[in-house]
Structure 1
């Protein structure tokens, strides 16, 4: 089985305090292994904090804050969604196995880490504790709600380029497939109301026939 390069902190509790502190200070140009000491985290274990932030997508490979850091950590509820999405991406294999990984039992997650890495029991527990700390800063309830349909469009059935109308396929809670078809019809502009009356009367007749199965 392929090995996953997990990261962990020897002091997950202090990592949580560190991230909370980052929410109250200005975003630095770069967060190196020495940075935690400058804001009151002088323990040698704090030197590993930036690595955890890199793994979660809050810092890039050089230690510079990413958009997830800038807009996520202090972005209110929407910021928490950004952080949640970044964490889900960073721990994708874990979320693929346990979609509720952020709330899942530690014992299952430890078993997952052990089976996908070379870490022993103790380090696997630190991986999970570090993961759970990071998850405290994300919102995972809205990460799948991006306004897009399953086929990748934005949910708008209109077709601005013309042609056939789009069809949207969805499954309802009973498992049945529901197909919605939008049909656009046009009539030449006229001031004669009778033309419109006749148009809608004909439309009603044909729609009734479709519903009754007679046409």
Structure 2
């Protein structure tokens, strides 16, 4: 099952604020709960966001910012990176519904119950769904879809360019062949004889069957 084991139990509506505040600060060597406090988020619910960042690939297990985190700091890619992290973290959910980011909370809860085989308490499923819904609300899905479409178009163009249409070359070749002037060289091995009449008869026969132009 590819579902995050980390989720928030409250302060879901503050998820956009967490991300926006991260954009105003330099990436730390280690993203810890203390760093969350330094950013101004001091409640226990706020600190749970650190593990959510690990789940979506912004931090490694040790809390070190990943390449995705640094790309996120470029505001032209910020919300796209969040969408990318969500799709990776909730891969099984998106396998069931490629538009899972558009699902309602109740729909997400139903899918989570299926994916966890009913092993989670209803309260836990609700926390997981609320975390997912609020993450999706911040991410820029339209940008991710446009980039994915462009990527597919580029792949198609490469495939088309790699196909060589060789119908023209044979056509030109055939036209050239039809315009050829053909010359024949005929080699005759004369018999060894002293009888002139033999040669006269031979050349007379050649003149008859191969007229000279």
Query: Which residue of the partner structure matches residue 169 of structure 1?
Result: none
2:93 paired residue number: 94
> Which residue is equivalent to 2:205?
none
Question: For the Cα contact (< 8 Å) 2:2–2:90, is it kept in 1?
Answer: no
Query: Once structures 1 and 2 are overlaid, which stretch shifts more, 47-56 or 26-35?
Result: 26-35
CA RMSD of aligned residues (A): 2.9
| TM-score, length basis structure 1 | 0.66
Within-5 A mapping of 1:1-215: 4-11=3-10, 12-76=12-76, 78-117=77-116, 118-141=119-142, 142-143=144-145, 144-148=148-152, 153=155, 155-156=157-158, 157-159=160-162, 165=163, 182-184=164-166, 199=172
Structure scoring higher RCO (CA < 8 A, sep ≥ 6) equals 2
Structure 1 unaligned blocks of 5 or more: 160-164, 166-181, 188-197, 203-215
State how far apart, in whole Å, the 2-side matches of 1:135 and 1:110 are: 15
Asked whether the 8 Å contact 2:57–2:85 carries over to 1, the reply is: yes
Distance 1:121 1:79 in 2: 32
Contact 1:58 1:69 survives alignment (8 Å): yes
Alpha carbons of structure 1 residues 115 and 73: separation in structure 2 relative to 1, 3 Å: farther
The secondary structure found in structure 2 opposite 1:75 is coil
1:55 and 1:200 map into 2 onto residues whose CA distance is 63
Could you say if the C-alpha distance between residues 105 and 38 of structure 1 is closer, same or farther in structure 2, counting changes exceeding 3 Å? same
The whole-number CA distance in structure 1 between the counterparts of 2:75 and 2:2 is 34
* TM-score normalised over the length of structure 2: 0.67
Runs (4 or more) in structure 1 with deviation over 6 Å come to none
Q: Structure 2: give runs of 5+ residues left out of the alignment.
A: 176-213
Alpha carbons of structure 1 residues 15 and 138: separation in structure 2 relative to 1, 3 Å: closer
Which one has a larger percent helix, Structure 1 or Structure 2?
2
Are 2:8 and 2:48, in contact at CA under 8 Å, matched by a contact in 1? yes
Count of residues paired in the alignment: 167
